[in-house]
Amino acid sequence: MVGGGFGGATAARALHAADLAVTLVEPAEHYIACPMSNAVIAGLRPMDLQVFGYEGLARAGLTLARTEAVAVDGAARQVRLADGGTLPYDRLILSPGIALRFDALPGYDAAAAEIMPHAWKAGAQTERLARQLAEMPDGGTVVLGVPGNPYRCPPGPYERASLIAYLLKTRKPRSKLIVLDAKDTFSKQRLFEAAWARLYPDHLEYVPLAGGGQVTAVDPKTRTVRTDFAEYQADVACIIPPQRAAPIAAAAGVADRSGWCPIDPVTFESRLTPGIHVIGDAAIAGAMPKSAFSANAQGKVCAEAVIDLLAGREPAVPKLINTCYSLVAPDDGISVAGVYHPENGVLADVVGAGGTSPLDAPAEVRHREAAYGEDWFRTVSHAVFG
């Protein structure tokens, strides 16, 4: 099992609970969770609530290899580790998350991200963006660049836009946020747009692709963000670049030319290399969004499939659920839920299941949705990390 995030740690626990010998390969000392990190960026939540240790998994009896997986030999069924060791496997599950594509946007590389943080992997980047926003003088311009699909957490940029706008409205009222989007439609769009019209008419300007919103280049030295139509001078620029599966996916031969990993929707086994399963953000999971909720659900389903395959049984056809909560302001939440099943070789929406919060929900319902989001995060992180 490679990757101790929401997908990998879930699958490792399920395999261990079934008495299979499993080693979880994860180099990071702590796991720093992205869900709720937009509230950290807006100064509404302390960073330490995002940080989880691996002691809980060790206490549960799991074997951890605290090093990076650097290569996979799919024919010999072996993982090579950065510490020089190798791990043989009967079945390998990868849940390595994403890599940011520093080759996709002219001017935006790892050095530029120090000045124009993406904060799309929680940790130092989250704190950097929070600090930049806190230190920005009133009257400043914040620019948020949002990529085209697919990327980690479809509603995440719009939750971030909402909470940055909340920060500006309440603490720097002469400031403004400009959201530059590389697409015209997005997750929970009607709910977000209604919230922005209600809460932030003077603080948030949204520019879709059709309005010239796609960021085409950046210059970190001058904090300039360019589109084909205009040039924006930012005091704070958060640029979320296009993404792909983390590098170990390509090294293992399970990523295709898109950079993501095609999988069988019943077992999550790679379409490219047998014996390797891919879950979470790295996988092409059809209609299922790249979320921690999805990664957690896929971790359980994939582990069950692996248990069946190793026992020579036919894996059961799964149904998976995802729910994504977003805050549009503190104590003001919205959600989208979906149910997915294998259909024509992909994970497809179960038509008629799921949906979004009502557009005209009263304040009390929106408070409750915000609380559900917080409860979900506490429950899932406790179940995964202990």
Q: Identify which of residues 112 and 295 has a Cβ nearer to ligand FAD in the complex.
A: 295
Smallest gap from residue 115 Cβ to ligand FAD (A): 19
Rounded to a whole number of angstroms, the CA Rg of the chain reads 21
φ, ψ for residue 7 (rounded to 5)?
A: -75, -55
Query: Hey, which residues between 217 and 246 contact ligand FAD (CB under 6 A)?
Result: 246
Token digits of residue 143: 């620019």
Q: Which residues pair with 177 in a beta bridge?
A: 142, 204
Q: Which of 34, 57, 215, 297 binds ligand FAD (CB under 6 A)?
A: 34
Token digits of residue 380: 């899932």
21-29, 55-63, 184-192, 267-275 -> range binding ligand FAD (CB under 6 A): 21-29
Question: Is position 292 an interface residue for ligand FAD (rule: CB under 6 A)?
Answer: yes
102-110, 180-188, 211-219, 287-295 -> range binding ligand FAD (CB under 6 A): 287-295
Question: Is position 95 an interface residue for ligand FAD (rule: CB under 6 A)?
Answer: yes
Smallest gap from residue 52 Cβ to ligand FAD (A): 10
Q: Which of 128, 152, 176, 341 binds ligand FAD (CB under 6 A)?
A: 152
Token digits of residue 188: 């929970």
Q: Which of 1, 6, 42, 242 binds ligand FAD (CB under 6 A)?
A: 6
- Which residue's entry shows tokens 């510490």? 83
Q: Identify which of residues 226 and 282 has a Cβ nearer to ligand FAD in the complex.
A: 282
Token digits of residue 14: 């399920």
Distance, in Å, from the CA atom of 146 to the CA atom of 143, rounded to the nearest integer, reads 10
Q: List Cβ neighbours of 45 (8 Å cut-off, separation of 6 or more).
A: 36, 39
Q: Which of 8, 123, 145, 220 binds ligand FAD (CB under 6 A)?
A: 8
Q: Identify which of residues 68 and 193 has a Cβ nearer to ligand FAD in the complex.
A: 68
Question: Is position 265 an interface residue for ligand FAD (rule: CB under 6 A)?
Answer: no
Token digits of residue 88: 């043989």
Eight-state DSSP code of residue 315:
P
Question: Is position 253 an interface residue for ligand FAD (rule: CB under 6 A)?
Answer: no
Distance, in Å, from the CA atom of 94 to the CA atom of 25, rounded to the nearest integer, reads 10
Is residue 75 helix, strand or coil? coil
Q: Identify which of residues 153 and 301 has a Cβ nearer to ligand FAD in the complex.
A: 153
Q: How many CB atoms lie within 10 A of CB 190?
A: 10
Question: Is position 96 an interface residue for ligand FAD (rule: CB under 6 A)?
Answer: yes
Distance, in Å, from the CA atom of 146 to the CA atom of 132, rounded to the nearest integer, reads 18
Q: Which of 290, 304, 306, 347 binds ligand FAD (CB under 6 A)?
A: 290
Question: Is position 39 an interface residue for ligand FAD (rule: CB under 6 A)?
Answer: no
Question: Is position 188 an interface residue for ligand FAD (rule: CB under 6 A)?
Answer: no
* Helix residue spans in 213-283 (DSSP H): 247-251
Smallest gap from residue 311 Cβ to ligand FAD (A): 25
Q: Identify which of residues 211 and 321 has a Cβ nearer to ligand FAD in the complex.
A: 321
Distance, in Å, from the CA atom of 218 to the CA atom of 233, rounded to the nearest integer, reads 10
Q: List Cβ neighbours of 26 (8 Å cut-off, separation of 6 or more).
A: 2, 3, 4, 8, 54, 64, 65, 66
**Interacting residues with ligand FAD (CB under 6 A):** 2-8, 25-28, 31, 34-35, 37-38, 68-69, 95-97, 120, 152-153, 156, 246, 248, 280-281, 290-293, 295, 324-325
